[in-house]
Chains A and B, each alone.
Chain A
Amino acid sequence: MLSFILRRIFQSVLVLLVVGLVAFAMFRFVGDPIDTMLGQERTMEDIDRLREVLGLNKPFFLQYWDFLVRAVQGDLGISYRQGRPVAEIIVERLPATLELALVSGFIALFAGIVLGIFTAIRRDGWAANTIMTVSLIGVSLPTFLIGVLLIYGFGVGLEIPLPFTDATINTGGMPTFGRGDTVDLGWWTTGFLTTDGLRSIILPAITLGLYQMTLIMRLVRAEMLEVLRADYIRFARARGLKDRAINFRHALKNTMVPVITVTGLQLGSIIAFAIITETVFQWPGVGLLFINAIQFVDIPVMAAYLMLISVMFVCINLIVDLLYVAIDPRLRVDGKTA
C-alpha cells in the first residue's frame, strides 16, 4: 500500500520534471531569447551582459535547474506580447476558467448520473432509447460545434411561430460573449454574484459539460446494467425489497466506483477542453490566453500554461488513484502488484 503510494508519487514527480524540461526547451530553443528581448540596436556587450544576466552561458542542466527553481517560486518569465509577468496574467485569468470548469463539471456529473440511471432502469423504453441515440450524436459532435450551435439557437435565436397566433417567439437573447458583470473580491473575480454573470456562464458551461455528460451517462448506464444482473440484486428482489431501494441503495453504490475514477480523470479534460469553449465564447480564462499565445507565438505564456496544466493533471491523476484504493477494498489486498 505504502509502496504503491510512493511509486505513484515518484511517477508524478517524474512526469512533472519531463514536462518542465519540455517547457524549458521551448524557452531556450524556440526563438532566441536574446533576439526577442533586445531590439535591432544592440552591441556585443549588450548581448554578453544579457546572456550573463539570464544565465544563458551556464551548462544546460544548470540552466534547467535555475528554471525549475524560478518556476516553483512563481517566476514564469515575462510575456512577449503583453510585457507583463506571466504569473500575474495567469492569476488574473484563472478564476474565470475555474468557475467555468466547476459549473460544467457539476452539470455533467448531475445530469450524467441521473440520465444514466434512468436509461439503465428503463432500458427498453422509448425515452431511454431516444436519449441513447441523441447521446451518440453528442459524442460525435465536436465541442466547438456544440458551442456555435448553442450561440445560434439561444444567442442569435430562432423565430418560432406560436401555434394559433401570428406572433413568433424568439429563442435567443442569452449572452454569448465574455463573463458579463463580475465582482472583484480582491484576489478572485467572480461572476456568481451578479445576474448577468450567472446568465453568461450558462451557455459556455453547457457546451463544456455536454461531452462529459454523455460520457458519464453511458458509463453509469453500462455499470448499472452490469450490476443489476448480479446475484445479490436478484436476491434483493427475492427478498421482496422495493424497486427504489434496490436501484438506489444497492445497485447505485456499486456503480459509483468507476464513475468516480472516470469523473476525476474527466476533470482534467474539462480544463483542457475549456480552451475550445473559452475561444468560442471569448471567455477570458487561461484557455483563451493559451490559444492567443499560440497564435502570436508567445513562448513564455505557452510554457507556463503547459506547466500549470500538467501540475493540475498530475495532481488529479494522483488523487484519483489514491481515492480508488481508498474506495475499492479489493485493490488494497494486492496493492503491491497494482
Chain B
Amino acid sequence: MTDTPETPVKPAAPAPRPMGRFARAMDSDVGYAFRRSPVAIISSTVTVIMVLAAIFAPLIAPHDPFNPATLNLLNGLTPPGVPSAFTGDTFILGTDDQGRDIFSTILYGLRISLFVGFAAVTFALVLGVTLGLIAAYVGGWTETIIMRIADIQLTFPSILVAMLIFGIAKGITPIEYRDQVAIAVLILAIGLSDWVQFARVVRGATLVEKNKEYVQAARLIGRSSFVIMGRHILPNVLSPVLVIATISLALAIIAEATLSFLGVGAPPTQPSLGTLIRIGQTFLFSGNWWILVFPAATLLILALSVNLLGDWLRDALNPRLR
C-alpha cells in the first residue's frame, strides 16, 4: 500500500499512521465537534494563552510590580503607549500612580485569579464528588444528611455563602496572619460555596450505576466499598463532572474577582484582577481610565472564553443534542 506508483483512487487519503493520543482525541466525536466549532477553537485558544501567560508571568512581564526597587515614582500615571514626561519610558498599557507597569500587574493578577479559580474548583470537585459518591452508595441517614445540607446551601446564592465563609474565617484568624492566609481562605470560601453542584450530579449518576451488573460483580468477588466507589463507579460518573468543572471555573473566577473587588478577597499585597479593578475604580474620576479598563477587559475576556468553552463542552458531551 505504501509503494503504489500509480495515482491512487482517493487522492486525499494519506497513509494511515499510528495515531498519537492527541490525534486520537481530535479524531473522536468530541474532537470532530471541536474542529467544526469556531467558538470552541477561539475560546480554548484564548483560555490556553491566558493560562500560559499567567504561568510564565515572571518571564513575560517587563517589570516586577512587587519589587519596589524596579519602580520609579516619576513614571506614575503614564498613559498607555506614550513616553513618560519625566523619564521617557514607554509602557504598553500605562502605569498606575506608583509607576507600576499595568501590563505586568495584569499578568501577575491573572496568575492569582486563575490559581484561586483552579484551586477552588478542584477543592469543590473533590469534596462534591466524594460526598456525592458516598451519599448515593451508602444511602440511608448519610445520604439524607448530606443532601439536606446541599439543599439548604442551594437556597442561598453561592456568592453570599462565599462571603459569609470568608467573614467567619477572617474572624477566626488572628489579625496579624489575615493577609497571609487570605488567598487560602478565598479558595476555601469559593470551594465550599460550590461543591453542591458536583455532589448532586455525581449522586444522581451513582444511583444509576450502583445497580449495574459490574458493580454487583465487584461486590460479589469481595472488593471493599472504598475500591468499588473509587475504581469502578467513579470513572463512569466523571463525564458530566467535567462540564460542571468548566462552568464552575468561570463562575469561580468571577466570584473571586467580585469578592476581591468588594475588598473581602485577595489583599492588596497579592492583587488579583478583582483587586486591580478595585484599585482602578478609584482613579476613574481623575481620568486615568487605563488603570481600570485593561484589567477589566482581561477579566471579561477570560470569563467569556471559559464560559463559552463550558457551554460548548456541555453541548458536545450531551448525546441528545447530536
**Judging by beta carbons under 8 Å apart, are B257 and A148 in contact?**
no
Residues on B with C-beta less than 8 A from A310 are 155-156
**Judging by beta carbons under 8 Å apart, are B262 and A272 in contact?**
no
**Judging by beta carbons under 8 Å apart, are A294 and B167 in contact?**
yes
Residues on A with C-beta less than 8 A from B299 are 142, 145
**Judging by beta carbons under 8 Å apart, are B264 and A140 in contact?**
no
| A26 sits at the interface (CB 8 A) | yes
**A/B interface sample: 30 pairs, CB < 8 A:** A14-B148, A14-B152, A26-B168, A30-B172, A31-B171, A140-B254, A141-B300, A142-B303, A144-B257, A145-B299, A148-B277, A148-B292, A151-B281, A151-B284, A152-B292, A156-B285, A272-B156, A275-B160, A276-B258, A280-B281, A291-B163, A291-B263, A293-B167, A294-B166, A295-B263, A297-B170, A297-B171, A302-B164, A310-B155, A314-B155
What are the 3 A-B residue pairs with the smallest beta carbon separation, nearest first?
A: A30-B171, A294-B167, A272-B157
B interface vs A, CB < 8 Å?
148, 152, 155-157, 159-160, 163-164, 166-168, 170-172, 250, 254, 257-258, 261-264, 277, 281, 284-285, 287, 289, 292-293, 296, 299-300, 303-304, 307
List residues of A (303-338) whose CB comes within 8 Å of B's CBs. 306, 309-310, 313-314, 317
A290 CB to closest chain B CB (Å) equals 8
| A251 sits at the interface (CB 8 A) | no
**A140-B303, A294-B167 known; A273 vs B159 contact (CB < 8 Å):** yes
**Judging by beta carbons under 8 Å apart, are A148 and B284 in contact?**
yes
Residues on B with C-beta less than 8 A from A149 are 296
**Judging by beta carbons under 8 Å apart, are A148 and B281 in contact?**
yes
| A143 sits at the interface (CB 8 A) | yes
**A144-B277, A294-B264 known; A272 vs B159 contact (CB < 8 Å):** yes
**Judging by beta carbons under 8 Å apart, are A273 and B157 in contact?**
yes
A48 CB to closest chain B CB (Å) equals 25
Residues on B with C-beta less than 8 A from A104 are none
Taking CB as reference atom, which chain A residue is nearest B261?
Answer: A144
Residues on B with C-beta less than 8 A from A302 are 164, 167-168
| A183 sits at the interface (CB 8 A) | no
Residues on B with C-beta less than 8 A from A143 are 258
A186 to B159 alpha-carbon distance, docked (Å): 34
| A279 sits at the interface (CB 8 A) | yes
Tell me what chain B mostly uses at the interface: helix, strand, loop, or mixed: helix
A149 to B277 alpha-carbon distance, docked (Å): 11
**A15-B152, A276-B258 known; A145 vs B264 contact (CB < 8 Å):** no
**Judging by beta carbons under 8 Å apart, are A140 and B171 in contact?**
no
Interface size on A, residues (CB 8 A): 42
**Judging by beta carbons under 8 Å apart, are B167 and A142 in contact?**
no
Taking CB as reference atom, which chain A residue is nearest B292?
Answer: A148
List residues of A (133-163) whose CB comes within 8 Å of B's CBs. 137, 139-145, 148-149, 151-152, 156
**Judging by beta carbons under 8 Å apart, are A142 and B307 in contact?**
no
Residues on A with C-beta less than 8 A from B159 are 272-273, 275-276
**Judging by beta carbons under 8 Å apart, are A269 and B277 in contact?**
no
List residues of A (235-294) whose CB comes within 8 Å of B's CBs. 268-269, 272-273, 275-276, 279-280, 290-291, 293-294
**Judging by beta carbons under 8 Å apart, are A279 and B262 in contact?**
yes
Residues on A with C-beta less than 8 A from B155 are 15, 310, 313-314, 317
Taking CB as reference atom, which chain B residue is nearest A305?
Answer: B164
| A220 sits at the interface (CB 8 A) | no
A187 CB to closest chain B CB (Å) equals 27
Listed residue (A26, A144, A299) with the most chain B CB atoms within 10 angstroms of its CB: A144
A150 CB to closest chain B CB (Å) equals 11
B293 CB to closest chain A CB (Å) equals 8
**Judging by beta carbons under 8 Å apart, are A313 and B250 in contact?**
no
| A18 sits at the interface (CB 8 A) | yes
